Amino acid sequence: MTNPNPEIVTPDAFDAAAEESREEQAPRLSYGFARAHDVVLLDYGTKAVLGARAPLGGHALLEARRVLRRPLRVDSLDGADFDRLLSERYSLEGMAGDDLASGEGDHDLDSLIDDIPQSADLLDSADDAPIIRLINGLIAQAVRRRASDIHIAPFEPALLISFRIDGILHEALRLPPRLAPRLISRIKVMARLDITEKRIPLDGRVSLSLGGKSIDVRVSTLPSRHGERVVMRLLDKDQAHFHLDALGMSRRALADLQQALAQPNGIILVTGPTGSGKTTTLYAGLSQLNDGSRNILTIEDPVEYALMGWGKHR
């Protein structure tokens, strides 16, 4: 029987539906495999198209064919294109808001460490999930403890992870030093940093969601004797609108600051060690001035918060 009201499907709609279905069904090459063999999945249809920086060995081809369950075609990529595609494919994988919202608590970090494969070369591991869960757990724990920064420092005997709380570093975790390359590389991929560049400092950022909160993570790396050190600055977007009277100042200090802010010109210097509240104090003061009657322009490097009514320049 003929349908009297057939639905018209355009070629574009068919192609889009086919592409969406194809992406949903595409198996996943782990980040560890992609990084170890310098290969990324470019397309997944009747054939699986791989992009490779260098010719693939026989073992890698067999493993890719086993995982992808398709005939393979391998296209050559130069180094810059490969690094860009690798970052695009894996930058936010495993860091979705739902994952962080159910992030591991303080008591679960040790079990997360135990889940990480004990292979001699961690980049050969086909499973990235344990390292992703560990990063999720670290960020979730740091936010719960109201830490401003996560410090990751490799040393010869251990990989030391610390939280900066109220300006003071507190040791949170010690990991085997063998985990440093993979953990730091995964964080750099999140922040869209060049994972092959380890000789110069790098800066990047990534936005995450945790239990309904929007968190900006600013990532900075610095080469050191035992490998790259990483600092992750946690910026809670929901707490960007502080009021001066909520900062815990004495009445005299608060009155002096408000009087200075009321002046039509001048300069206010806020000094102190890392994590002491300099940025919070300045943002609270500027928030008080942001009543629509002034044109506010800040010069920041880097820009930490994007707020309505403020112009920002880096």
pLDDT tens digits along 204-243: 988 887 766 778 899 999 999 999 999 999 987 666 567 8
Q: What pLDDT score was predicted for residue 110?
A: 57
Question: Which residues have C-beta within 8 Å of that of residue 43, sequence separation ≥ 6?
Answer: 49
pLDDT of 78 over the 70 cut: yes
Q: How far is CA 137 from CA 51, 104, 132, 144, 229, in A?
A: 32, 5, 9, 10, 19
Give the pLDDT mean for 89-95: 56
- CB of 98 within 8 A of CB of 206? no
pLDDT tens digits along 248-271: 889 999 999 999 999 989 999 999
As a whole number, the mean pLDDT across the chain is 76
C-alpha 254: how far from chain center: 36
CATH 3.20.20.140 describes domain 31-91: no
* Between 24 and 64, the higher pLDDT residue: 64
Domains of the chain, residue spans: 31-91, 106-116+127-236, 244-312
pLDDT of 17 over the 50 cut: no
Residues 106-116+127-236, CATH architecture: 2-Layer Sandwich (3.30)
- CA 235, 241, 245, 246 torsion: positive or negative? negative
